[in-house]
């Protein structure tokens, strides 16, 4: 047990320091004249903000990507997004494989810990499949985008398509075309559904990929005949898929109901356009950051729902942020089990260990505390901003969403620093944050007698 905790501690340090180093290098590169378009004045804090939002795959920007950065600068941003989306550990392993280096036991243990896998077998193949699968999905997405963007933008449409596809899959929420995201394509089915597919595939998590690809391989090997699975679907995969579907379609129905007659959002659309726009908004709340409707136009009641959905985010071991679908599920199931008078948390005829329950509580508590502190701090340094704008911005930052109520561009120096720190904490995760400040030697060898405490 101690060895496992120590391994987790080392992995966390590598991830935490790796992201800091990547952000700093990225910010320095973006300060080079070759990376800037010359259309706007770029300060170092804006370069640092852009590097952070890219590596943390958030999407909040203080300067329009298409206007402030040159083609080379946009390429640097794309590389930072890919590093952030794949993860420091995976990207490092990919670099070693490209260089022809042997992946030793230590590196395999880091990969296993990064993806919460109990075995060290087949991890190099896993990394290759993740990278190849990522590139394949992004490639298909780019080709679909080109159908629209090449006729509209000419040769530049190829670059716009590549960048948008990578950004959508990595849930980065950035594009190189407009200052108002995908708002010009609010009624375009191909752009909407391609973006939604990329967002979902990136945010669902690699373990889900792994499971269904294995099932597809077995199906293919059996001449495409249906065969009963020899091993059951992992509980984490069941939760990730079922809760994701519930949040996507449940969110769509809630948004559709609350905004149906709002002339600033869905009110002037026909039914099918409303359905598409509501579905896109629900999907992008899973930590994508793109929008087809300005976020400040939504009613306050809808914005509150947005905040809840953003705080939950996507699924573990993927490109999405938030506290994750599995975390909120474990918490809700624990509450239900307590109300029913049961001692164990159960899901799909399986019990969930107390360790996992405590971890879920820790993730929620740390994330909520960071959210509370950052919101209060942002409201203090931005006295003219209203509370909903501040809350939306900080939830968007800690959950690495990238949606804003037209507030990011109004941030002052202190406001930008607060959001930078919040985005970083959101990307490395609350548990990693706790371990980052840990000494790594917390063996609890002493056991104290229990005593009851009145609660509630």
Q: What is the pLDDT of residue 190?
A: 96
Residue-wise pLDDT tens digits, 196-207: 999 998 888 777
Q: How far is CA 238 from the centre of its chain?
A: 19
Q: What is the pLDDT of residue 230?
A: 54
Asked if residue 242 belongs to a domain, the reply is yes
Q: What is the pLDDT of residue 189?
A: 95
**CB 374, CB 394: distance < 8 Å:** yes
CA distance 283 to 195: 9
Q: Are strands 350-352 and 345-347 parallel, antiparallel or unpaired?
A: antiparallel
Q: What is the pLDDT of residue 349?
A: 77
Q: What is the pLDDT of residue 75?
A: 96
Neighbouring-strand partners of residue 351: 346
Residue-wise pLDDT tens digits, 106-125: 666 666 666 666 555 666 77
**For residue 427, what are its two tokens?**
């990307």
CA distance 62 to 413: 11
- Residues of the chain below pLDDT 50: 1-2, 6
**For residue 190, what are its two tokens?**
């191909």
Asked if residue 447 belongs to a domain, the reply is no
For the chain, the domain total comes to 1
Asked if residue 449 belongs to a domain, the reply is no
Asked if residue 448 belongs to a domain, the reply is no
Q: What is the pLDDT of residue 109?
A: 67
CA distance 138 to 81: 13
Query: Environment class of residue 75 by beta-carbon count within 10 Å: exposed (0-12), middle (13-18) or buried (19+)?
Result: middle
CA distance 168 to 141: 9
Q: What is the pLDDT of residue 223?
A: 64
Q: Show the domain range for 65.
A: 2-436
Asked if residue 441 belongs to a domain, the reply is no
Asked if residue 293 belongs to a domain, the reply is yes
CB atoms within 10 A of CB 404: 25
**CB 431, CB 359: distance < 8 Å:** yes
Asked if residue 166 belongs to a domain, the reply is yes
| Contacts by residues 299-302 (CB-CB < 8 Å, ≥ 24 positions apart) | 299/258, 299/259, 299/262, 299/265, 300/388, 301/258, 302/254, 302/255, 302/258, 302/259, 302/265
**For residue 368, what are its two tokens?**
């909520």
Asked if residue 104 belongs to a domain, the reply is yes
Could you tell me which of 79, 191, 69, 204 has the C-alpha nearest to residue 133?
A: 204
**CB 166, CB 250: distance < 8 Å:** no
**For residue 287, what are its two tokens?**
């930590």
Q: What is the pLDDT of residue 276?
A: 95
**CB 243, CB 159: distance < 8 Å:** no
**CB 81, CB 26: distance < 8 Å:** no
Q: How far is CA 452 from the centre of its chain?
A: 40
């Amino acid at each position: 047990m101690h060895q496992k905790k120590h391994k987790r501690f080392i992995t966390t340090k590598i991830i935490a320091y790796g992201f800091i180093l990547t952000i700093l290098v990225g910010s320095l590169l973006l300060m080079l004249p070759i990376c800037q378009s010359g259309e706007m004045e770029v300060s170092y804090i804006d370069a640092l903000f852009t590097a952070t939002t890219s590596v943390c795959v958030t999407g909040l920007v203080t300067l329009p990507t298409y206007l402030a950065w040159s083609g080379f600068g946009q390429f640097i941003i794309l590389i930072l997004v890919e590093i952030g989306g794949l993860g420091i550990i995976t990207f490092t392993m990919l670099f070693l494989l490209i260089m022809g280096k042997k992946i030793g036991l230590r590196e395999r243990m880091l990969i296993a810990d990064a993806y919460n896998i109990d075995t060290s077998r087949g991890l190099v193949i896993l990394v290759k499949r993740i990278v190849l699968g990522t590139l394949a999905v992004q490639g298909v997405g780019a080709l679909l985008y080109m159908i629209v963007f090449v006729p509209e933008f000419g040769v530049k449409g190829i670059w716009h398509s590549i960048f948008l596809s990578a950004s959508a899959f990595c849930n980065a929420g950035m594009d190189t075309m407009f200052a108002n995201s995908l708002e010009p394509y609010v009624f375009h089915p191909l752009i909407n559904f391609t973006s939604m597919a990329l967002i979902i595939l990136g945010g669902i998590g690699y373990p889900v990929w792994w499971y269904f690809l294995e099932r597809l391989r077995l199906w293919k090997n059996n001449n495409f005949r249906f065969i009963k699975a020899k091993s059951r679907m992992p509980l984490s995969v069941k939760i990730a898929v079922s809760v994701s579907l519930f949040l996507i379609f449940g969110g769509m129905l809630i948004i559709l109901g609350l905004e149906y007659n709002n002339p600033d959002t869905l009110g002037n659309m026909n039914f099918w356009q409303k359905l598409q726009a509501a579905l896109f908004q629900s999907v992008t709340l899973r930590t994508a950051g793109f929008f087809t409707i300005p976020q400040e136009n939504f009613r306050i009641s809808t914005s509150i729902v947005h905040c809840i959905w953003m705080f939950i985010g996507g699924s573990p071991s993927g490109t999405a942020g938030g506290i994750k679908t599995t975390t909120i599920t474990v918490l809700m199931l624990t509450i239900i089990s307590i109300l029913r008078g049961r001692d164990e948390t159960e899901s799909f005829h399986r019990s969930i260990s107390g360790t996992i329950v405590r971890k879920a509580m820790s993730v929620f508590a740390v994330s909520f505390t960071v959210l509370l502190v950052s919101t209060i701090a942002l409201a203090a340094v931005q006295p003219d901003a209203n509370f909903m704008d501040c809350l939306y911005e900080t939830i968007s930052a800690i959950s690495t969403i990238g949606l804003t109520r037209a507030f990011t561009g109004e941030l002052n120096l202190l406001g930008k620093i607060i959001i930078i720190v919040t985005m970083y904490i959101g990307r490395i995760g609350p548990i990693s944050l706790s371990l980052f400040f840990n000494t790594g030697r917390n063996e609890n060898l002493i056991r104290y007698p229990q005593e009851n405490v009145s609660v509630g």
